[in-house]
Amino acid sequence: HAILSAMAARVDSTPGITRRSGWMAVDLLTLSHNSDEPRDRYQPLTCFGCYALETATGEVTAIVAKKTILATGGLGGIFLHSTNQPGSVGHGVAMAWRVGARLIDLEYVQFHPTVFFKKNAPRFLITEALRGEGAVLVDAHGRRFMDAVDPRGSLAPRDVVARAIQQHLARTGEACVWLDASALKADFIRDRFPGICARALAHGVDLTREPIPVVPAAHYSCGGVHADLHGRTNVRHLNAIGETACTGLHGANRLASTSLLENLVGARATARADVVELRTGEFQPTRPRPWQSPAKRADPLLVRQDLQLVQQTMWNYAGIVRSPRRLARARRILLELREGIQAFYRDCRPARELVELRNAVQSALLVVHAATLNPESRGCHFVQSDDTAES
C-alpha cells in the first residue's frame, strides 16, 4: 500500500501524465483488427492503444497511443481462493491473447499455503514466518496432520504444505485447516506479528488465544505475456511488465520478493527503451473504428454466478493438484461457459463485471490449456495420474 500510494502521488505531481480513475481497458487496438483504414489489415501485428470503459457511465472510448504497456497484474482471481486484489483475473493476458500476442508458462501458478479464511471476510496472507517461529497446522480435531505427510511437518516447503492442505480438505470435506500458535507467548506473537494479529482480531479471531483458520490460495502467476527484459512482446508497440508479463525470471516457481525486483527493474528498462523508440520512431497511430455498444444490460446476478462457477471450476480441477481427467473436465465446463458469456458480451452494454467475467473465463481456459499440454510436474505445476489423484 505504501509503495502504491507513493507512486500514485508521484504520477499525480508529474506534468504530462493524466491518470484516469474509474476506467478499465476492454480490448487492445491493432491495425489488423481495429483500424478505420482498410489497407491496414495487411500490416504487421501492431498495437496502437485500447478501447477503455468508463465504469460510471458505461461509455467506451478509443484511446490511441504510440506505445501501450500492459501492467494489469496477475490472474489469481480466477480461483476460488486468492491473495490477489479483487478483479485480478488476467485482464492483460486475455486482451493480449485476443490480438495474437504470445503467451508462455501459464500453467505455473504459485499457491500460498496459509491464507486467512472466514466466510464473508477478505483473504489475506498468513506469513510462513509464523510457522517458522513454531506455529503448527492442525485439523478440526487439533491433530497435526502434516507430520504424516513430511518429516519436516509444518516446516515443509510451501508447495508441499499447500498440496497437503488441499488434499486433506478434499478427503475430509472440511472448509479449512487451522494454524495453532499456542506454543508461542502472547506478547511475542503481538510484537512479532502485529499486522496479522490486528487483521485477524478485526474478524473475530484472536491469534494469541485460538487457532487461526487458513486455506491455500492462488498467489502469483509465473507465466504471462511473453516479453523480453525491456517489456517488448511479439506485437509491435505493445509492452508487458510485472506479473502480466513472463520474462523467464521466475522459471517454474517464483522465489520470494523477486517479483518486486522484477517490477522495479523491468518497468524502468521498459520506460527507457520506450523513450528512445518514441524519439526515433516514425510510427503514427491510425484512426480506430468506433465502438458499437448494444443497449441491453447484463443481469448482474447471472454475471456473478458465472464468475463463481469459473472460480470453483479452476479451484477443483485446475488448482494445486491437477490430473488429466480433472483438466479435461475443467475444459469442458469452461468452454460451455465461455459460449454463453460471449453471447452475453455481444448482446449487452459493457460493464466492469461483464468485462471481468469475459476475461476471467478466457484466462482460465488458457491456464487449463497450458496445464494440459505439460504432463511434467515441475515447480508450482503439479500433475498426478488419474488413479493417484482419485485415490
Q: Which residues are catalytic?
A: 158
* Distance in angstroms (rounded) separating the CA atoms of residues 235 and 67: 11
Cα-trace Rg, the chain: 22
Amino acid of residue 23? W
* Distance in angstroms (rounded) separating the CA atoms of residues 162 and 2: 29
* Distance in angstroms (rounded) separating the CA atoms of residues 311 and 120: 16
CA distances from 222 to 73, 90, 292, 325, 362 (A): 11, 12, 35, 24, 17
Enumerate residues 6+ apart whose C-beta is below 8 A from 205: 116, 118, 212, 213
The grid coordinates of residue 300 equal: 448482474
CA distances from 206 to 114, 119, 180, 181, 385 (A): 16, 16, 11, 11, 41
